[in-house]
Amino acid sequence: MSILLVSEEHAEKSSPFVSVIILNFNGNKFIQRCLQSVLADSYEPKEIILVDNASRDDSLELARSFADQITIIENPKNYGFPKGCNQGIRQAKGDIIVLLNIDTVVRKDWLNALIEPMMSDAKIGVVGSKLFFLDGKHIQFAGGWMRPNCLTYHEGYGKPDSAKYNVPHEVEYITGASMAIRREVLERTGGLDEGFPLYYDDLDLCYRARKAGFGVYYQPDSVVLHFETFGTKKNSHIYFYKYHRGRIRFLLKNFGIRYFVGTFLPAEIRWYKECNFRQQLIPLASAYLTQFPKAPYYWIRGFVRRRILKRIP
């Protein structure tokens, strides 16, 4: 049982309206199971918004069979994850916004547990679920952390479930596969950064939430099965390119030249020596070539922003 459990009476009196936003692109293998599991969740009041990014399979037709229970936004083209989610967020009525991947199945009481920490502490702004692989026994995500060179890692990834992954705690970031966000966080931070077409948009949002004074929390009582390999093939060249492109953009956007020279570069060199670098060499070099030329823009913009913030009383 979560240490953040609130009384049933309190939950009844103050249950916030929740908007669940599910982004779909060619998800015909998953969409029915995902929607059925979310619709079966007992939490109320809630709304479900499905944003379709111009799917080319029959998943939109499958979604329309739920049209009396969900709201569907149909895009003329694939806008990517952040922009698609922002479209749903703009239409959402909820006090809490939940982002959920299409290739997921939620377990019983997923939503109640997910928003529980926010009910107990007004300073918790982002909460994420425990994610399992489809076997329901091996951890995919039990909290996210960032290394000094902005590489990310999931706590417990690939490990059998155990008691140590059942403790709620603060983390650096939550994966967008199942993420609850307080509306105030979105208003303060401006929502997902659409400059991240894939990867690092969730870490970026959590980083900005923490900078704004909100806590980011892992909630193991909220459980989701996540297919994960849907979309870009894991550990392929295109996966590594997109991952490192997001990583370098996140670095340049959020950290200045001092961090780059004093922290990032030494950590990056250590990583070269420790990992099997050969597989990632070409996609990493491509990511460097597309992102590092933008460094002066990000660093000058960051310097100006910090000077302006210092002058604000």
Q: pLDDT tens for residues 240-254? A: 999 999 999 999 999
pLDDT tens-place string over residues 30-79: 999 999 999 999 999 999 999 999 999 999 999 999 999 999 999 999 99
Average pLDDT of the segment spanning 187-197: 93
pLDDT of residue 311: 62
The pLDDT of residue 266: 98
User: pLDDT tens, 251-310?
Assistant: 999 999 999 999 999 999 999 988 877 788 999 999 999 999 999 999 998 888 777 655
Domain regions of the chain by residue span:
8-226, 237-311
How many other β-carbons are positioned within 10 Å of the β-carbon of residue 88? Answer: 21
φ/ψ bin of 231: left (φ > 0), alpha (ψ from -120 to 50), beta (otherwise): left
State how far the Cα of 226 lies from the Cα of 105, in Å rounded to an integer.
7
CATH number, span 8-226: 3.90.550.10
User: Worst-scoring range by mean pLDDT, 173-182, 188-197, 210-219?
Assistant: 188-197
Q: What is the DSSP letter of 292?
A: G
Task: Tell me the pTM.
Answer: 0.91
Judging by DSSP bridges, how do beta strands 96-101 and 104-106 pair with one another?
unpaired
